């Protein structure tokens, strides 16, 4: 299973980005291979609709879960439609720490 985690930078020591739609990077973690791929969020500077466009973006990676500091109201129903479970983490954890939690 793949999980998208919003990240401020492109390393596993980076802190989670508290915003979903306008996060800097998505860390795409694969629970089977244990590999993490960092992809730049193309919607960070979008004029409008960064949230829905980011749902589309991570859905194209076939992720089943998304971890972020918060999710805007426009995207909650879209997440359900593409079957992505939302996980909110409000503490400033690193990507590595979140990956460890996912593996517990």
Partner 1 sequence: MNIAIASGKGGTGKTFVSTNLFKTFQSLGHSALLVDCDVECPNSLLFFDLKKLSDTIVKEYRPIIDTNKCVYCGLCYEYCEYNAIFYVPELKQIKLLDNLCHGCKACTVACKHGAIENSSTEIGQVSFFVDSEKHIFLEGRLKEGKIASIPIIKSTIKEALSLSSDFVLIDSSPGTSCPFIQTAVRSDYIVLVTEPTPFGLSDLKQAVETLDSINKNYGVIINRSGIGNIEVYDYLEKNKIPIIAEIPFSKEIARYYSEGKLAVSYLSEIKELFEEISNKIIKNGNSIS
Closer to partner 1 by CB, 53 or 86: give it.
53
Q: Which of residues 68-97 bind partner 1 (CB under 8 A)?
A: 74, 78, 81-82
For 68, the 3-state DSSP assignment is strand
CA distance 95 to 16: 6
- Report how far Cα 55 is from the mean position of its chain's Cα atoms: 9
Closer to partner 1 by CB, 22 or 96: give it.
22
Q: How far is the CB of 64 from partner 1 (least distance, A)?
A: 12
Contact 36, 12 (CB under 8 A): yes
Under the rule (CB under 8 A), what is the footprint of partner 1? 43, 46-50, 52-53, 55-56, 59-60, 62, 74, 78, 81-82
């Amino acid at each position: 299973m793949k999980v998208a985690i919003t990240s401020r930078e492109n390393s596993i020591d980076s802190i989670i980005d508290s915003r979903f739609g306008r996060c800097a990077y998505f860390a795409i973690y694969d629970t089977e291979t244990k590999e993490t791929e960092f992809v730049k969020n193309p919607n960070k500077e979008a004029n409008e609709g960064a949230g829905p466009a980011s749902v589309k973006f991570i859905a194209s990676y076939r992720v089943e879960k998304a971890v972020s500091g918060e999710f805007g109201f426009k995207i909650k129903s879209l997440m359900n439609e593409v079957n992505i479970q939302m996980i909110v983490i409000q503490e400033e954890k690193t990507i590595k720490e979140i990956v460890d939690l996912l593996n517990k």
